[in-house]
């Protein structure tokens, strides 16, 4: 079989037209909330489904597309967890002031992917992100 060139992990607050996605994918519907709100935020069950999909991504995959409604919070949290899962550095995501990775989504995915993530490690990432944003708007 030829290598898979792209897969997609889609996080949305709205129904996704999955028949329009032409690459292997998973789509989970949840709101961009940074805490557990049953029936609205990312659930542990949905995070486990996403983790199962991520764990099944072939090593030959060249592109993993992470998408959400605005491309700033949920998808960047998913991308950061995917980076760590595949042994890459995720800090460039947290250092980018255009992104605000959702800490709840990131934490649940790290848990589901068996990535150690202490409160201190998460705090460092979120503070790095807040600093980058403040610096970008000139309010250090």
DSSP 8-state symbol, 20: G
Asked whether residue 5 carries a pLDDT value surpassing 90, the answer given is: no
Radius of gyration of the chain (CA): 15
- pLDDT digit string (tens) for 22-72? 899 999 999 999 999 999 999 999 999 999 999 999 888 889 999 998 889
Asked whether residue 4 carries a pLDDT value surpassing 80, the answer given is: no
Q: How many CB atoms lie within 10 A of CB 41?
A: 18
DSSP string, 45-109: HHHHHHHHHHHTS-TT--EEEEE-SSSSSHHHHHHHHHHHHTT---HHHHT-TT----HHHHHHH
Tell me the two tokens of residue 114: 């068996």
- pLDDT digit string (tens) for 95-126? 999 999 999 999 999 999 999 999 999 999 99
Asked whether residue 2 carries a pLDDT value surpassing 90, the answer given is: no
- What pTM was computed for the model? 0.93
């Amino acid at each position: 079989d030829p290598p898979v060139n792209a897969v997609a992990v889609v996080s949305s607050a709205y129904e996704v037209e999955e028949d329009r996605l032409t690459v292997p994918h998973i789509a989970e519907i949840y709101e961009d909330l940074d805490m557990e709100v049953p029936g609205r935020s990312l659930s542990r069950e949905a995070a486990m489904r996403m983790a199962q999909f991520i764990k099944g991504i072939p090593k030959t995959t060249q592109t993993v597309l992470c998408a959400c409604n605005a491309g700033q919070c949920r998808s960047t949290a998913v991308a950061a967890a995917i980076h760590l899962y595949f042994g890459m550095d995720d800090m460039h995501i947290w250092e980018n002031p255009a992104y605000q990775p959702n800490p709840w989504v990131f934490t649940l995915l790290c848990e589901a992917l068996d990535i150690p993530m202490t409160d201190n490690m998460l705090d460092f990432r979120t503070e790095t992100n807040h600093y980058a944003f403040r610096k970008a708007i000139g309010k250090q």
